[in-house]
Amino acid sequence: MYIKKVDQNAKLPSYAHASDAGMDMYALERVEMAPLERVQIKTGIAFELEIDHVALVWDKSGLSHKKGIKVLGGVLDAGYRGEILIGAVNLGNEKVIFEAGDKVAQVLIQKIEYAEIEEVQELNTADRGEQGFGSTGAK
């Protein structure tokens, strides 16, 4: 995977621990988020992935659990070469401020499995069938 700084002040993604699945992503500049506000957080970097890979941007668990920060729309296709912008919403009750260099999200790089699509008139039966939300007894 190749990473380019589109802004020289950008901090490259990094793994905090050798066993981590996701690399931490960092804010390029100060961002303030009021409760329920949606923002795009600049990272100052661009990726070049292998053609059969995808970058999936996810929440940082501490930010989501402690502050209510939720990452939005986190699928980055291999053909995209622009700056990575982190879409996020503040679901918490207090303003959240990210300073330049603060962790804002994590990104996982995964190999893609491409499905062959075949239209059929009927689907095979399954134990669950068409039972949806709450079908396992979870409340």
Number of domains in the chain: 1
pTM of the model: 0.86
Q: Cβ distance 48 to 81 under 8 Å?
A: yes
Give the domain extent around 35.
Answer: 2-111
* CATH code of the domain in which 32 resides: 2.70.40.10
3-state secondary structure 67-108: HCEEEECCEEECCCCCCCEEEEEECCCCCEEECCCCEEEEEE
| Tens of pLDDT, residues 47-70 | 999 999 999 999 999 999 999 999
Q: Are the C-beta atoms of 124 and 52 separated by less than 8 Å?
A: no
- In a domain? residue 130: no
pLDDT of residue 9: 98
The residue to which tokens 């291999």 are assigned: 78
Q: What is the pLDDT of residues 69-118, one digit of tens each?
A: 999 989 999 999 999 999 999 999 999 999 999 999 999 999 999 999 99
Structure tokens, 53: 């890979």
